């Protein structure tokens, strides 16, 4: 058995209707926002799933809601107050607890809606399915979102989203399994980090129904 190389978060691979790469939506993250997973403080990173709060700001999506209100995936940060002197600029992440008070320093995030887009995501175990045939049997079923925090770099803690493959079922869950990724990184289906193609099933993006299918 050889474990597959892990890739972080959700990666856009296409759309259900064949459309080209969608235009990201720019939104705001509230001042001093601190995402937390199982009592671990994490930054916001490219590839993280987010939900849209009733205040009109983005926050890290909660894992396995009932139902979830998934909105989209972070693909960039157009304005983050970092560096010396502290000022807003483009950056590759939003450190937890970043504060801002003026428009020029507002934390701005670029998000691609889940919509009818297709996403590649790593599964979180190598026991639920261990062969290509077994993974194919999961196509059409649903799975929940999970996180496995990565604090390898204590200065850059990450939420590290995965697809919780052990939750696969024909009942409603966060994501629908559409296919198995054709990436060359799927070298061993008995190893960890097998990559699947999913679309959102429970969403907070109007006019879709959050309950899913």
Give the pLDDT confidence score for residue 207 in this predicted structure.
66
Give the pLDDT confidence score for residue 68 in this predicted structure.
80
φ and ψ at residue 105, rounded to 5 degrees: -110, 5
Output the CA angle 13-133-170, nearest 5 degrees: 70
Give the dihedral sign, CA 48/65/96/154. Answer: negative
Give the pLDDT confidence score for residue 181 in this predicted structure.
98
CA-closest candidate to residue 114, choices 76, 71, 164: 71
CA-closest candidate to residue 44, choices 7, 98, 82: 98
105 three-state secondary structure: helix
Give the pLDDT confidence score for residue 19 in this predicted structure.
84
Give the dihedral sign, CA 154/58/196/91. Answer: negative
| 165 C-beta neighbours (distance < 10 Å), count | 24
What is the full per-residue pLDDT of the chain (213 aa) written as tens digits? Answer: 789 999 999 999 999 888 888 999 999 999 999 999 999 999 999 999 999 998 999 999 988 766 788 999 999 999 999 877 777 899 999 999 999 999 999 999 999 999 999 999 999 999 999 999 999 999 999 999 999 999 999 999 999 999 999 999 998 999 999 999 999 999 999 999 999 999 999 988 876 656 677
Give the pLDDT confidence score for residue 39 in this predicted structure.
94
What does the alpha-carbon distance between residue 2 and residue 65 come to, in Å, rounded to a whole number?
Answer: 33
CA-closest candidate to residue 174, choices 146, 197, 152: 146
Would you kindly state where each structural domain of the chain is located, as residue ranges?
22-113, 115-200
Give the pLDDT confidence score for residue 66 in this predicted structure.
65
| 93 C-beta neighbours (distance < 10 Å), count | 19
Answer whether 32's CB lies under 8 Å from 107's CB: no
Give the pLDDT confidence score for residue 212 in this predicted structure.
72
6: CB partners within 8 A, 6+ apart: 122, 192, 193
Give the pLDDT confidence score for residue 208 in this predicted structure.
60
């Amino acid at each position: 058995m050889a474990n597959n190389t892990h890739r972080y978060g959700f990666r856009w691979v296409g759309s259900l209707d064949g459309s080209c790469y969608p235009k990201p939506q720019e939104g705001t993250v509230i001042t001093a926002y601190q995402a937390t997973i199982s009592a671990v403080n994490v930054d916001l990173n490219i590839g993280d799933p987010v939900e849209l709060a009733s205040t009109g700001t983005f926050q890290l999506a909660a894992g396995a809601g009932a139902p979830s209100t998934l909105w989209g995936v972070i693909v960039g940060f157009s304005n983050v107050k970092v560096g010396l002197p502290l000022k807003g600029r483009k950056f590759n992440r939003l450190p937890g607890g970043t504060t801002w008070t003026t428009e020029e320093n507002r934390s701005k995030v670029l998000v691609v809606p889940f919509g009818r887009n297709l996403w590649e995501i790593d599964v979180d175990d190598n026991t639920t399915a261990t062969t290509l045939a077994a993974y194919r049997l999961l196509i059409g079923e649903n799975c929940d979102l999970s996180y496995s925090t990565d604090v390898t770099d204590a200065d850059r803690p990450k939420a590290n989203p995965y697809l919780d493959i052990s939750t696969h079922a024909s009942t409603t869950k966060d994501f629908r399994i559409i296919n198995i990724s054709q990436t060359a990184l799927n070298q061993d289906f008995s190893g960890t980090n097998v990559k699947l193609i999913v679309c959102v099933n429970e969403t907070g993006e109007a006019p879709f129904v959050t309950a899913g299918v």
